[in-house]
Structures are given as C-alpha cells and as structure tokens.
Amino acid sequence: METFVRVTGIVAPLLRDNIDTDVLIPSREMTQPGKAGYGEKLMAGWRYVQDADGRRRENPDFVLNRAPFRQACFLVSGANFGSGSSREQAVWALRQFGIRAVFAASFGAIFKNNCYRNGVLPVVLPRSDLESLAAAAETGVLVMTVDLEAERASLADGRAWPLAVPANERSMLLAGLDAIGLTLRLQERITDFQAADRVRRPWIWR
C-alpha cells in the first residue's frame, strides 16, 4: 500500500448526500477476481451511458469525466458517504481512480474503516466548509495539500483544517501498511511474548 504523508492535488466536487457503496462500485461491476481493475469502474452507473447499440461510453456531464477532475486526488461530498453494504471494492475503486482522501459530512462506519485500511483518508468537515470547497472547485482548479504528519489540510489562500485521525489508523497510512502489516512491525515483541508465555503457561502451547 502506498504511503500517505503529504499529498497535493486537485479537488473534485460531488456534493451529494447518501452516495452508498452500490453507487461507488455497482455489484454488476464486481465480477473479476483480485483487487485490480476497479478504478475504471468507480461510480460506473454515473460515469458511463449506453449508446443505442449497447456500447458503453463516458458520460461527458459527470464530474470525474471532466478536466481537470480526471486527475483528482481529493473528493468533496455530502452526508452519509459510503453507506450501504460492506463491500471493500468501493474503496479499491476510489483508490485506483486516484482518490487519496474524501471530505464529507459523515461516513458509513464500515466504509470509513475500510478507507483507513486501503490508503484512503476519510475526513469529516462541516457542511458549510464542504459547500465552500465544492463551489471553489466548480469555478476553478482547486488544489489542496493534505499533510498527515502535521494533521492538516490546507489551500493556497490560507484556509486550513485540522485532521483528527486515530493514532493506529494514522500510523497505517503514514507507513503504507494495512492492519496486518502494522501488527507485523511488532513481530519481535510478539515473539518475546510467546516465548515468555510458553514458560508461564506451557499447557496452552501443547
């Protein structure tokens, strides 16, 4: 997993409430094995339309199909983002498209945890700030810097927001590790505990 330390990139506005995981990655798009190939399927129901002959093409009106948002690193949305089923593919699709952080009024709980474990930072902001960011992104190229070491998101005009990221999740993102990888960094301590526990409680290890 790629590290998340300090990322600067374009903000894409998608200020809608209740964008659930079925919108993020429709079930019909989850047919291949493995994690690869989901970026092009992100929000497929909105990103693509079908021609009369049944061929799929990009919807030119959808924000992520427009310049400069094709290269967006950050997404601004509304309330209840990522609600619905627990499908982890929703986060895979966001990350493979290029999204490193989502700013929303609230998140689905399981989706939020999946974000941390797959290199995407979920950030809760007040509605007024989300509306301001979305409006600025619509009227011009809005570039943001998210500094996870400093726990701060900022714009060139001086506006900034503190980031309240739980310690374990912040460590995972900074190191580019999932939960298992973060645990394995403690391998020496785990091995020492097991050795001591074999002496203290030998019957457990039989």
Whether this model's pTM surpasses 0.85: yes
CB 23 within 8 A of CB 85: no
Helices (H) and strands (E) in the chain, counts: 8, 9
Q: Is residue 199 pLDDT above 90, yes or no?
A: no
Ranges 2-11, 27-36, 110-119, 151-160: which has the least confidence: 27-36
Full strand arrangement of the beta sheet holding 101-104: 121-124, 101-104, 72-76, 6-13, 143-147, 152-155, 160-162
Superfamily (CATH H level) for 6-175: Aconitase, domain 4 (3.20.19.10)
Give the percent of the chain with pLDDT over 70. Answer: 99
**Distance (Å, rounded) from C-alpha 181 to C-alpha 203?**
29
Burial of 131: CB neighbours in 10 Å, binned 0-12, 13-18, 19+: middle
pLDDT given for residue 192 in this prediction: 79
Give the percent of the chain with pLDDT over 90. Answer: 73
pLDDT in tens, 9-24: 999 999 999 999 999 9
pLDDT in tens, 89-136: 999 999 999 999 999 999 999 999 999 999 999 999 999 999 999 999
Q: How many CA atoms lie within 13 A of 41 on its CB side?
A: 19
Distances (CA, A) of 130 to 126, 127, 136: 6, 5, 10
**Distance (Å, rounded) from C-alpha 63 to C-alpha 78?**
15
Q: Residue ranges of the domains in the chain?
A: 6-175, 178-206
